[in-house]
């Protein structure tokens, strides 16, 4: 039957890969069965049928064990382990043990004589595992290995991915300007070479995720809220154009994060709900962040009874991912602060600070100091001096990171406090200096708040 299908439909074998895998496995031809199972799995990934792909890849790996250990078998197993890791990531989440196992095995196999370039996807997968777990040291080492390998192989697309990896690695530690440069380099290479699909290597499309992360991880902190919005919308447009549910879910999630940073609860809620709907329908894991963002939006819309449990649910869903939890805890702190739950807010803030010190993930460090100041003021009016110190720490951290948006937010808090200490002019001068730096985004909440306070201080 298998031979007949191959002969009759030799120009359409992709359409019959599952049938061919079945017939060859039943006839004892493991070699051919493995070939077609891998092909069927790749086609399933293209359709975003990741669970189906996992089944095919696992079946192929089981059959492969029955074959003699040759160089060809090593190559096949390497390709299958990488493909399995790619399929597992959306379903189990990048921090899952199964994902680490697949990529670790691929890395071991690549040292058995595979071409240098074939080590790249294994290192990429392990980098993603370490990044999502908040394992900063390991992630940094893998990022450097990826960049060195890509340059040695001299493959422009691998170099583009390596730039993207370096950008992510730098942004989470608060090095926003160099991270933005690497994002730009990545996109330039990607666009120059005609937007090649890298889904089988990365599990996601570079043009989508690069724009999404660049927008909220670097452009917004650096003080470019409008450019960040345009970049995010470009990523969303590309994801819709590609018709890839996973890429669209990732683009929507990034857009929701950006709208949260811009303090736009309605759009945050809309994007978060859309991401959750796709993730639920497709069985994607790792989208607990969308639940946190939805909860934040509900609190911002004065629905704290539903919002705070939603935030806690999202944090619990991401409990194994140090990177995402570290980002989400400040949103919980903010929600407690807004609703007057000072003690709960300080406990959550202490947890966030401990996680920051443990992981070295500092992209939200300035905001944590600012929120601590706000909570101390709510706790007791006599905490004015402590709150001022917190705001000044926030400003110092933001300044060192070139994070103008965080600096503006912290300076606004300080300028609101200083008149209470008889230093109105100092507050007005500081706020004027940072506000005058901005050239865009004057319709965003932070800049409107700063302008309203400046008008008040100038009266």
Instruction: State the pLDDT at residue 203.
Output: 79
Q: Distances in Å between the alpha carbon of 438 and those of 202, 261, 391, 407, 453?
A: 36, 16, 20, 11, 16
Q: For residue 6, what pLDDT is reported?
A: 64
Rounded to the nearest 5 percent, the helix, strand and coil shares of the chain are: 80, 0, 20
What are the extents of the domains in the chain? Answer: 1-67, 389-459
pTM confidence score: 0.91
Instruction: Classify residue 418 as exposed, middle or buried by CB count within 10 Å of its CB (0-12, 13-18, 19+).
Output: buried
Tell me the pLDDT band of 432, cut-offs 50, 70 and 90: very high
Is residue 416's pLDDT more than 70?
A: yes
Q: What is the tens place of the pLDDT at every residue in 40-84? A: 888 888 888 889 999 989 999 998 888 888 888 888 899 899 999
Is residue 448's pLDDT more than 70?
Answer: yes
Given this model, what pLDDT does residue 324 score? 61
Predicted confidence at residue 46, as pLDDT, reads: 80
List pLDDT tens digits, range 380-407.
889 999 999 999 999 999 999 999 999 9
Confidence of residue 5 (pLDDT cuts 50, 70, 90): low
Of 66 and 446, the one with more pLDDT: 446
Quick check: 155 pLDDT over 90? no
Which residue, among 445, 378, 370, 441, has the nearest Cα to 411 in the 3D structure? 370
Q: What is the pLDDT of residue 71?
A: 82
Q: Which helix (H) or strand (E) holds 398?
A: helix 384-400
The Cβ-side half-sphere exposure at 362, using a 13 Å CA radius, reads: 15
- Residues of the chain with pLDDT > 70: what percent? 92
Task: Name the band, by pLDDT with cuts 50, 70 and 90, for residue 14.
Answer: low
* Mean of pLDDT over the chain: 89
Measured between alpha carbons, how far is residue 202 from residues 83, 194, 214, 251, 313 in Å?
10, 17, 17, 15, 28
Q: What is the pLDDT of residue 287?
A: 87
Q: Phi/psi at 409 (nearest 5 deg)? A: -65, -45
Helix axes 365-379, 384-400, angle to 10 degrees: 170
pLDDT exceeds 90 at position 236: yes
Q: Which two tokens stand for residue 142?
A: 């893998």
Given this model, what pLDDT does residue 11 score? 61
For residues 137 and 350, what is the distance between their CA atoms, to the nearest angstrom? 23
**Rounded Cα distance, 54 and 42, in Å:** 10
Residue with tokens 């990034």: 254
Evaluate if residue 142 carries a pLDDT over 90.
Answer: yes
Residue-level pLDDT at 112: 58
Asked whether residue 220 carries a pLDDT value surpassing 60, the answer given is yes
Between residues 33 and 237, the one the model is more confident about: 237
Local confidence band at 8 (pLDDT 50, 70, 90 cut-offs): low
> Closest Cα to residue 158, out of 128, 116, 103?
116
What pLDDT score was predicted for residue 276?
96
Q: How confident is residue 118, by pLDDT bands cut at 50, 70 and 90?
A: confident
Report how far residue 91's alpha carbon sits from residue 74's, in angstroms, rounded to the nearest whole number. Answer: 26
Tell me the mean pLDDT in the region 155-178: 93
């Amino acid at each position: 039957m298998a031979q007949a299908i191959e002969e009759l439909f030799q120009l359409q074998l992709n359409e019959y890969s599952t049938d061919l895998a079945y017939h060859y496995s039943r006839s004892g031809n493991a070699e051919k069965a493995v070939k077609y199972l891998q092909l069927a799995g790749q086609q399933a990934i293209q359709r975003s049928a990741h669970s189906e792909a996992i089944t095919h890849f696992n079946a192929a790996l089981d059959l492969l064990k029955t074959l003699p250990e040759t160089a060809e078998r090593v190559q096949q197993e390497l390709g299958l382990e990488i493909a399995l890791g790619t399929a597992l990531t959306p379903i189990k989440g990048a921090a899952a043990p199964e994902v680490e196992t697949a990529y670790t095995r691929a890395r071991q196999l690549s040292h058995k004589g595979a071409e240098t370039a074939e080590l790249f996807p294994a290192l990429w997968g392990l980098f993603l595992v370490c990044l999502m777990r908040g394992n900063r040291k390991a992630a940094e080492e893998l990022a450097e290995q990826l960049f060195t390998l890509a340059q040695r192989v001299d493959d422009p697309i691998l170099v583009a991915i390596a730039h993207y990896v370096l950008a992510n690695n730098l942004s989470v530690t608060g090095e926003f300007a160099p991270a933005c440069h690497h994002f730009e380099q990545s996109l330039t290479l990607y666009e120059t070479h005609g937007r090649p699909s890298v889904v089988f290597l990365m599990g996601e499309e570079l043009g989508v995720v690069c724009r999404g992360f660049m927008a909220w991880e670097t452009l917004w902190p650096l003080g470019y809220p409008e450019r960040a919005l345009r970049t995010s919308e470009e990523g969303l447009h590309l994801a819709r154009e590609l018709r890839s549910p996973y890429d669209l879910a990732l683009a929507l999630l990034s857009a929701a994060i950006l709208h949260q940073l811009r303090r736009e609860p309605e759009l945050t809620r809309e994007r978060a709900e859309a991401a959750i709907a796709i993730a639920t329908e497709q069985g994607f894991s790792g989208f607990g962040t969308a639940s946190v963002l939805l909860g934040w939006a509900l609190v911002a819309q004065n629905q704290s009874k539903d919002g705070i449990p939603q935030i806690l649910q999202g944090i619990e869903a991401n409990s194994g991912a140090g990177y995402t939890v570290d980002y989400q805890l400040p949103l919980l702190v903010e929600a407690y602060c807004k609703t007057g739950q000072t003690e709960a807010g300080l406990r959550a803030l202490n947890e966030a600070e401990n996680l920051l010190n443990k992981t070295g993930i500092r992209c939200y460090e300035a905001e944590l100091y600012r929120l601590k100041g706000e909570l101390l003021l709510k706790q007791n009016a006599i905490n004015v001096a402590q709150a001022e110190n917190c705001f000044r720490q926030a400003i110092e951290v933001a300044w060192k990171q070139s994070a103008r948006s965080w600096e503006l937010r912290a300076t606004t808090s300080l300028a609101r406090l200083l008149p209470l200490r008889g230093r109105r002019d100092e507050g007005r001068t500081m706020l004027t200096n940072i506000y005058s730096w901005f050239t865009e985004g004057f319709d965003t909440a932070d800049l409107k708040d700063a302008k309203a306070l400046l008008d008040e201080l100038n009266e």
